[in-house]
């Protein structure tokens, strides 16, 4: 017969991961205080908290950003209320911002309007934006839509003119 050793449990190795924040009493009080709060809050509207009887004014937003839909607006305002009392952190709030707001979109006529306003050919606009002429042609024919980065550049060109991305006139590019 073999010598059988009694089975012993090995101690579990401690993971080097930080412990998650537990829902401590302070966070639970904030959640309880928010339980009766009216959540959907457009800018500068009074929020009533019937459970506590407190009222507060929401902070005005720096700029109006259109939401994708009324449902996204409600979700975002609820997340903003939770963020204001400290239940949601900044990183999570940024994710809500990214998912709830509509990015600016440019149609074929918008691209053509911007190009004509700046009196640029398709080739010249393409060179300023760092893309090919065929990409501009596809945007203007509604075959493709500009990428989010290209939309940001188009917005800058539309609002500030081509010199905003081209640099000052007569400025040296470092080439001879």
Return the domain boundaries, the chain. 28-100, 108-166
Quote the distance between the C-alpha of residue 33 and its chain's center: 28
Q: Note the pTM of the prediction, 2 decimals.
A: 0.43
Residue 124, CA atoms < 13 Å, CB-side half-sphere: 10
Cβ proximity of 83 and 30 under 8 Å: no
**108-166 has which fold?**
434 Repressor (Amino-terminal Domain) (1.10.260)
Helix (H) or strand (E) holding 133: helix 133-140
Q: Choose among 174, 117, 171, 111: nearest CA to 138.
A: 111
pLDDT tens, per residue, the chain with 176 residues: 555 555 555 555 555 555 555 445 555 555 555 555 444 444 444 444 445 444 444 443 434 556 667 777 788 888 888 888 888 888 888 887 777 766 667 889 999 999 999 999 999 999 999 999 999 999 999 999 898 889 989 999 999 999 998 875 544 444 44
């Amino acid at each position: 017969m073999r010598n059988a050793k009694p089975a012993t449990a090995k101690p579990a190795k401690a993971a080097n991961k930080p412990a998650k924040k537990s829902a401590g009493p302070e966070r639970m009080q904030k959640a309880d205080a928010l339980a009766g709060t009216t959540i959907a809050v457009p800018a500068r509207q009074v929020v009533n908290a019937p459970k506590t009887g407190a009222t507060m004014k929401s902070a005005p937003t720096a700029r109006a950003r259109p939401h994708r839909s009324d449902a996204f607006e409600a979700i975002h305002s609820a997340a903003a209320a939770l963020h204001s009392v400290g239940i949601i952190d900044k990183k999570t709030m940024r994710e809500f911002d990214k998912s709830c707001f509509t990015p600016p979109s440019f149609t074929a006529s918008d691209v053509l309007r911007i190009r004509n306003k700046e009196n640029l050919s398709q080739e010249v606009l393409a060179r300023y934006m760092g893309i090919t002429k065929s990409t501009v042609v596809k945007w203007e024919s509604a075959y493709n839509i500009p990428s989010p980065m290209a939309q940001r550049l188009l917005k800058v060109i539309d609002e500030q003119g081509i010199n905003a991305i081209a640099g000052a006139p007569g400025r040296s590019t470092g080439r001879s």
